[in-house]
Amino acid sequence: MKKSASAFDALRSARLSLLAVVSLLGWAVGVQGGGIIGINYGTMANNLPPPSQVAKFLLQKTYIKHVKLFDADPNILRAFADTGISFTVTIANDRIPALANHSNAQQWITSNILPYIPTTNITRILVGNEVIATADKSLIAGLVPAMQSLYAALVIASLSHQIQVSTPHSLGILSSSDPPSTGKFRRGYDTVVLKPLLGFLKATGSPFMINSYPFFGYTSSTLDYALFRPNAGVFDENTKLTYTNMLDGQLDAVYTAMKLLNYSDVEIVIAETGWPSHGDPGQIGVDPESAAAYNKNLIQHVTSGVGTPLMPNRTFETYIFALFNEDLKPGPTCERNFGLFQPDMTPVYDAGILQPTSGAPTPRNSTSVGPSNPDPLEEKTWCVPTSEANMEVLQANIDFVCGQGLDCGPIQAGGSCFFPDSVRAHAAYAMNAYYQAAGRNSYNCDFRKTGKITTIDPSMLGYSSIYMPINRDFL
């Protein structure tokens, strides 16, 4: 019998209250079965504390015992020696082709892993980040061979049982994700790249890693759904299952895609997820309260053992993005405000990861920004670079957009929008692609004051025709 909405909400509230208690106990005694909460430690800032201070802070003041780096910074690895904190290190995308060579892979392990173990607890190596989203054929073709070579090098060093090898993906690897039961990988990548990659992960006992951000997929009408707050839910007609939060929908879409390739038994790890505490004027739900709600509810959910509608009774190893606000990150204001902590290690808000006896400073007061509703432009508009924008900043804009999972293939060599071959023209494509997909709000074209909105078709301004159909599957 179908329950009434009020009865459903009452049952759900009671269930969430119980899960909150269970999750808090899990923090204290160590969640079993893989219910791990880690943190992404990014360093794109000029005001961060020394790694030694960060190590002491995490060890003594927080519950965090798992850290993911976007590189293999020797200073950080040395600073965390003898802490027992588990480390995931990352190899830059541009190193991938060379590491397909076995001798180069062995040399990388010798130079970047062996000097720091066992005193530093390195447990996973990530080969690149969102490699498929780059649409770079040489990187994509070299991805699985590089992973295989690095694993072989770990075997030689007798470390293959201690250190896993994987690579994180954006949701842009999916051609369909809504409803979750229709999830499937993009054609051309599914059988050629992802199937052998999943085969490698299964054979080596390593997880499939996904960067899953409800933040990039919500609207004003789905904010509660994205923040794990009470909502009407989303019903999947195919499975007859109801989704009460967006993250579950994203994870089940990935699971469905993996199942189509017969690899539903490979573990899924959330490599990145988070919510910014500050954004550009007019952004709804971008404030400390929303960020705290997302991350607190996230922690409760992924460690509770409830799982998702298609993956029930399980926990998810999850890495929150990010440890600090990073003032040098390109893109909109929100990109520099995903941190749980300010560079002086004061909390931006209470995310629930500080130990009760830590005596940590209280969160800084901060007000939410902008009006309660965004003001999307209704007429046909485009986002293009300003005439004053320099090439270095425009290249950073390209890198940011392509890293979000949008298809940048058209501006790669041989792509339909490769010409004119200039940073400005390619930035016009990338910035407009982001602007169109994100909702065509004025703040979606800010790009640190290097973008402007125009009502003139960019092809009339000397750019390639860049007004493309909007594809939100990456969200």
Which of 130, 317, 326, 335 is catalytic? The answer is 130
The count of other CB atoms within 10 Å of the CB of residue 308 is 23
Q: Could you give the angle at which helices 288-303 and 5-29 cross, rounded to 10 degrees?
A: 80
CA dihedral (288, 327, 402, 440) positive or negative: positive
Strands of 121-237 (E only): list them: 121-127, 164-166, 168-170, 174-176, 184-185, 208-211, 234-236
Find tokens 């993009």 and name the residue: 186
Q: Which residues pair with 37 in a beta bridge?
A: 318
Comparing C-alpha atoms, which of 401, 472, 396, 390 is closest to residue 437?
472
Active-site residue flag, 267: no
CA dihedral (238, 244, 248, 250) positive or negative: positive
Residue 80 DSSP symbol: T
- Distance CA(247)–CA(283), nearest Å, equals 20
Q: Could you give the angle at which helices 137-156 and 195-204 cross, rounded to 10 degrees?
A: 10
Q: Which residues pair with 66 in a beta bridge?
A: 86
Active-site residue flag, 317: no
Q: Where are the alpha helices (DSSP H) in 227-356?
A: 246-260, 288-303
Q: Residues for the chain: how many in total? A: 475
Which of 272, 317, 326, 335 is catalytic? The answer is 272
Strands of 115-167 (E only): list them: 121-127, 164-166
Radius of gyration in angstroms for the set of CA atoms belonging to the chain, rounded to a whole number = 22
- The residues annotated as belonging to the active site are 130, 272
